[in-house]
Amino acid sequence: MTYRRGLLRLGIVATACWIAFWVWHYATTCSLVRMGGGRAITCRWETAEPGGIAVATRTAPALSVLWDMAARTIGIPACAIVAALAVYWVVERFRHLAR
């Protein structure tokens, strides 16, 4: 197995774990509610305060929350893939110039 294949497999596994974690996180902390004439999503999370742990909530229109969820769940692995491809391209260019 070459290092490229190994890194590709590592990237696929890491991306799958990342997406699975965030899907689980949102499934356990967020719920769909009615707000006015439309739908909204309420998410809760715990924050560390000086006096202990506090529970915070955020309710926002469903579309904006879904956009944030998609950006965090898929956007970060996509940026990592683009950065890895850029590094690979630079390394291959230097290797090609050294010949």
pLDDT value of residue 17: 93
Per-residue pLDDT tens digits for 37-96: 788 888 887 777 787 777 888 888 888 888 888 888 898 889 988 998 888 888 888 877
Q: Which amino acid is at 72?
A: R
Assess contact for 31 and 41: CB atoms under 8 A.
yes
Q: Who's near 72: CB < 8 A, 6+ residues apart? A: 22
Domain ranges of the chain: 3-98
Which residue spans within the chain are E strands per DSSP?
30-35, 38-49, 52-61
The residue behind tokens 């944030």 is: 68
pLDDT value of residue 9: 87
Q: CA-to-CA distance for 89 and 24, rounded, in angstroms?
A: 34
Nearest-CA neighbor of 66 among 15, 18, 23? 23
pLDDT value of residue 37: 76
The verdict on pTM exceeding 0.85 is no
pLDDT value of residue 20: 93
Per-residue pLDDT tens digits for 4-24: 788 888 888 999 999 999 999
pLDDT value of residue 1: 55
